[in-house]
Structure 1
Amino acid sequence: MNTDFSNPTFSFELGERLAEREQISAERTAANGGEFRGRTGVIHTPHGDIQTPAFTPVGTKATVKAVLPEAMKELGSQALLANAYHLYLQPGPDVLDTAGGLGRFMNWSGPTFTDSGGFQVMSLGSGFKKVIDMGTVEQARGVDGRPLGDDDVARGRERMAHVDDDGVNFKSHINGSMHRFTPEVSMQVQHKIGADIMFAFDELTTLYNSRRYQEKALERTRLWALRCIAEHERLTVERSDKPYQALFGVIQGAQYEDLRRQACRDLGAMPFDGFGIGGALEKENLGTIVRWCTEELPENKPRHLLGISEPDDIFTGIENGVDTFDCVSPTRVARNSAVYTPDGRMNLTNARFKTDFRPIFEGCDCYTCGHYTRAYLHHLFKAEERLSATLASIHNERFIVKMVDDAREAINQGDYFAYRDEFLGNYYSDRRPE
């Protein structure tokens, strides 16, 4: 196991700290709730470097939906993240292993990530939405009007996963077949998938779970982390002819400060190569929770914020010491005709775009804006042509990737706050994108 970052094919090199490049006023420090922890760095992997902070687009099933891998490289993506649960079900880890790993299988030459399947434990188990979009516990009610509890599922959903101390039994969403994931199985699957960075198997709770259950799940995740490390070490030796795969621990603890800090201390003392920050939280608490974590985690190891792509959330993560991000949102909203602009999101099915022959926005350097107009995309969406999703997704991924790239450059140049304030001031202004 790479316990001291001496592995020749994976390491993390810290760059500039935001505080070292800008005068930070007491007012800014107070407004952020504490020390600004933003930084730059480089993650070195067997398939190339990742300059951080960086946004990692999601290619759930070994593909970014509707977009060629070659296009992802052209729009500036440094790495892609795939989903171990989905690839386990289809086409199966043995297929990817035989193909030479995830990158070779999908014709992507850069670094790759895989998650552990832990998110599917929660989403299949309870059917609730992406955690950052969930309402407060007080607002949530079951079908009989009582507050939701540990055993509840979302309305109209079937519980398809059952957790015990050893692992998870779950039903395939494809054909209903039954499967079981344990920490060892997750490691075996991810080693065969062959990503450069993978995550330890964890139990993701929801905001509706009780404090008592959060404590139980956190201890379960800690014990699973130890089992993941042991199996990872065994497989690394057994598969020594393969490129080294880094293992990140996953921090849980919901919105409880003591649980988050305890998780960081427990996993931070383990020989992980880096850490993923996930779990149940509300948007307004994101910065506070991330800061709790980065104050406890080792400085010399990378931190990944799981499932985040909204501009304000990314800036919050950067300022609190996050290095990489991933989310499906850019392509998901693109498939529903929403595109990003410096003045906010706009929906291209709006009638006003029918004869608008401008690009999505002037000055965008993506392929879509260089060759196609709003009117053409409006037509594609109205005609339900698949090309609509491709062109909108290329634009949206480029927009978020470039936003984070520019934030990294702003840290290096010492004008991060000016960049952030201008970007967010325009993006979240009340005016409608023209």
Structure 2
Amino acid sequence: MTPFRYEPLGQDDAARRGRLHTAHGTVETPAFMPVGTQATVKAMFPEDVAATGAEVVLGNTYHLMLRPTAERVSGLGGLHTFMRWNRTILTDSGGFQIMSLSGLRKLEEHGVAFQSHIDGSRHLLTPERSVEIQGLLGSDIQMQLDECVRLPAERKEVERGMRLSLRWAERSRAAFEAMDGPAKGQALFGIVQGGDDAGLRVESAAALSAMPFEGYSIGGLAVGEPQDVMLAMLDETLPVLPAEKPRYLMGVGTPHDIIEAVARGIDMFDCVMPTRAGRHGVAYTRFGKLNLKNARHADDPAPLDPESDCPAARDYSRAYLHHLVRCGEGLGAMLLTWNNIAYYQHLMKTLRTAIEQGRFAEVRAELGRLWAKG
């Protein structure tokens, strides 16, 4: 079994170029992970996701433990087989969804008891159970269970959540090693918490760095705070994390967020934004963001991008896409989602090449002018 490792390939100022080696292949970083919450990237075939250049997708512990259950997925050969994705899979711990989606929930030291948003059934998720579920799913990269405190919040509440997450990190790591995760070529990432308090972020990062995680995630950001706050937290946090390990900024984000986070040394991203936008008639392109609902596209025979390698961007007119969106046809959501995932992969490839060529500052400025307004 291929052991998990991060291979640094180069750096341009703080921006990093690297490669993840996993049991299901390599991932070039910086990388964007399409979100496949329920074992599917919405409105896309797995082979089309792969054709965009995506080398890793994200699945969700909370949703999959409820339906179809991790035990069922395991019995059917694991998540890779179940969803026909033979590349790398990352799963999150389920903690964020419990806090945001579940009905009744009770948080204690042992774990969190919650009521399913699907059928009201009651469940208990502990650090050990979260790792067990991710092991049953067979994901290559797994996350510790943490508590994501909603912002804005009082400092004492943010601190309480951060310290609980650190205690859960220790328990998650012990469970991961007891289940022979490293021997299976899997990785477990710790998650930095601390809200918008720089001191708490630094303390969390330092404590996690002393634990033998294969990588480190920054959680609890991109939850509504201004971009400058998110970037300020990265400025404080990243110097504390081990340079030889991958760094994952969870739930981010817009193209501009990604560009600025790469500039600070982030290696991995995920976000529902490109898929959700596609289902709502919005296209991301190298010319900017386009709302295909707008009447100005009704008579436009041009494609989204005639030079794109993606058929959705290259082969369909804006007029046709406008028609599909206005009629509520499913094909419109499929084509725009395909285009958006392809654009995000194109963006990541552009950033990787810029780092390799020592041109990151120039490319950052050029793309920043395009995306600074979202």
Q: Is 1:259 equivalent to 2:200 in the alignment?
A: yes
Q: Is 1:63 equivalent to 2:40 in the alignment?
A: yes
| Residue in 1 that maps onto 2:12 | 18
Distance 2:318 2:2 in 1: 47
Q: Is 1:113 equivalent to 2:90 in the alignment?
A: yes
Q: Is 1:312 equivalent to 2:289 in the alignment?
A: no
Deviations 1:229-268 (A, max 9, x none): 111111117x96xx32200001100011110000001011
| Residue in 1 that maps onto 2:352 | 408
Deviations 1:154-211 (A, max 9, x none): xxxxx53221111111111111111110101101111001110010000000113211
| Residue in 2 that maps onto 1:370 | 314
Deviations 1:93-146 (A, max 9, x none): 012112222111111111110000111133136xxxxxxxxxxxxxxxxxxxxx
Percent of aligned pairs sharing the same letter: 39
Q: Is 1:218 equivalent to 2:218 in the alignment?
A: no
Q: Is 1:277 equivalent to 2:221 in the alignment?
A: no
The one-letter amino acid of 2:352's match is R
Distance 2:318 2:63 in 1: 34
Root-mean-square deviation (Å): 1.7
What stretches of structure 1 move > 4 A for 4+ residues in a row?
none
Contact 2:307-2:314 within 8 A present in 1 as well: no
Deviations 1:295-315 (A, max 9, x none): 001111000010002111101
Contact 1:274-1:302 within 8 A present in 2 as well: yes
Distance 1:91 1:170 in 2: 18
Contact 2:146-2:191 within 8 A present in 1 as well: yes
Q: Is 1:163 equivalent to 2:100 in the alignment?
A: no
Matched residue of 2:284: which SS?
strand
Deviations 1:313-362 (A, max 9, x none): 10111011100100011010110001112332111111121221111133
| Residue in 2 that maps onto 1:335 | 279
Mapping of residues 25-424 of structure 1, within 5 Å: 37-124=14-101, 159-236=103-180, 243-280=184-221, 281-424=225-368
Distance 1:403 1:345 in 2: 13
Deviations 1:354-397 (A, max 9, x none): 22111113322212023211111111112211111110000001
Distance 1:191 1:8 in 2: 16
Contact 1:268-1:297 within 8 A present in 2 as well: yes
Contact 1:286-1:313 within 8 A present in 2 as well: no
Contact 2:304-2:314 within 8 A present in 1 as well: no
| Residue in 2 that maps onto 1:29 | none
Contact 1:118-1:204 within 8 A present in 2 as well: yes
Distance 1:215 1:96 in 2: 36
What's the CA shift for 1:291?
2.0
Larger radius of gyration: 1
Matched residue of 1:263: which SS?
helix
* Count of residue correspondences: 371
Distance 2:108 2:372 in 1: 44
The one-letter amino acid of 2:188's match is L
Contact 1:75-1:398 within 8 A present in 2 as well: yes
The one-letter amino acid of 2:87's match is G
Distance 1:77 1:229 in 2: 28
Distance 2:231 2:174 in 1: 32
Contact 2:144-2:190 within 8 A present in 1 as well: yes
What's the CA shift for 1:8?
4.5
